[in-house]
């Protein structure tokens, strides 16, 4: 029986790289994608294409559009504008309150259901926007919590969260992904959610800079 991994797949660059890594590690991948009412909802369609590219046996798309009822983020509240990249150290308005805690909880539940031993999440603590739920301390603490909270944790006691991009810069992530033939042409990163990427939001800026530093060409189209 092959070992299984749940991969939190947004359809963006990092999570798609995680699909490539998990696949390369020999896992049978069970991607899970969250529709949380994000402004850039079309990323769900990109996630579907990535899942199909990797011939995932099953792709769960979970409806979390009720997160809009919590609001508090430019990504889930249409009345808050997505700012251009500013390089500020403050946690930006694109932060979605407790998002990765919610995502990992659900990914853990799914891992239990499909019998996966690991959960992949594409967080990085290097080229990121200062989101607290991307820090390694959080991933570590969540691993402990998940093992305390689940049957899989009690019976096997070692459901792992793997965050292989934690210490990689965007350029390093892209270089690794290109070696693994990750289909970046199928991914999307822009927060604004228009058909064509804006090139100026945090997410576009990190991506563009990453490709430049990796000495590679970003295959997607910008405005």
Q: Shortest distance, CB of residue 40 to Zn ion, whole angstroms?
A: 8
| Cβ nearer to Zn ion, comparing 63 with 195 | 195
CA 150 – CA 111 distance, rounded (Å): 10
Query: In the range 151-190, which residues lie near Zn ion by CB under 5 A?
Result: 190
DSSP 52-103: HHTT-S--EEEE-GGGGGT--STTT-TTSPPPBP---SSPPTTPPTTHHHHH
Contact region with Zn ion (CB under 5 A), list: 67-75, 132-140, 151-159, 204-212: 204-212
Report whether 190 contacts 203 (CB < 8 A): yes
Interface with Zn ion, residue 198, by CB under 5 A: yes
Interface with Zn ion, residue 42, by CB under 5 A: no
Q: Shortest distance, CB of residue 84 to Zn ion, whole angstroms?
A: 9
Q: Shortest distance, CB of residue 127 to Zn ion, whole angstroms?
A: 15
Interface with Zn ion, residue 75, by CB under 5 A: no
Count CB atoms within 10 A of the CB of residue 86. Answer: 10
- Which one of residues 204, 208, 214, 220 is an interface residue with Zn ion (CB under 5 A)? 204
The CA-based dihedral angle spanning residues 139, 133, 171, 80, taken in that order and rounded to the nearest 10 degrees = 160
Interface with Zn ion, residue 201, by CB under 5 A: yes
Q: What is the chain's percent helix, strand, coil content, to nearest 5?
A: 40, 10, 45
Q: Shortest distance, CB of residue 71 to Zn ion, whole angstroms?
A: 21
| Cβ nearer to Zn ion, comparing 107 with 190 | 190
| Cβ nearer to Zn ion, comparing 174 with 201 | 201
Contact region with Zn ion (CB under 5 A), list: 8-16, 26-34, 146-154, 193-201: 193-201
Backbone angles phi, psi at 118, to 5 degrees: -135, 155
| Cβ nearer to Zn ion, comparing 133 with 202 | 202
Report whether 146 contacts 161 (CB < 8 A): yes
Residues engaged in binding Zn ion (CB under 5 A): 190, 198, 201, 204
């Amino acid at each position: 029986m092959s070992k299984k991994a749940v991969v939190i797949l947004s359809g963006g660059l990092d999570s798609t790289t995680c699909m490539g890594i998990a696949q390369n590690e020999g896992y049978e991948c069970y991607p899970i994608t969250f529709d949380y009412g994000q402004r850039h909802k079309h990323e769900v369609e990109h996630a579907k294409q990535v899942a199909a590219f990797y011939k995932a046996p099953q792709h769960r798309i979970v409806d979390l559009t009720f997160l809009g009822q919590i609001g508090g983020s430019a990504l889930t509240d249409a009345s808050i504008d997505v700012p251009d990249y500013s390089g500020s150290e403050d946690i930006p308005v694109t932060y979605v309150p407790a998002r990765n805690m919610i995502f990992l909880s659900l990914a853990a539940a799914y891992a239990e259901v499909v019998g996966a031993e690991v959960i992949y999440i594409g967080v990085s603590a290097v080229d990121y926007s200062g989101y607290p739920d991307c820090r390694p301390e959080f991933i570590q603490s969540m691993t402990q919590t998940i093992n305390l909270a689940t049957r899989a944790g009690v019976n096997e006691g070692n459901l792992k969260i793997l965050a292989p991009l934690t210490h990689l810069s965007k350029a390093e992530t892209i270089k690794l992904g290109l070696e693994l033939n990750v289909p970046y042409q199928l991914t999307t990163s822009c927060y604004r959610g228009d058909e064509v990427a804006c090139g100026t939001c945090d997410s576009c800026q990190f991506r563009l800079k990453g490709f430049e530093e990796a000495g590679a060409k970003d295959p997607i189209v910008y405005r």
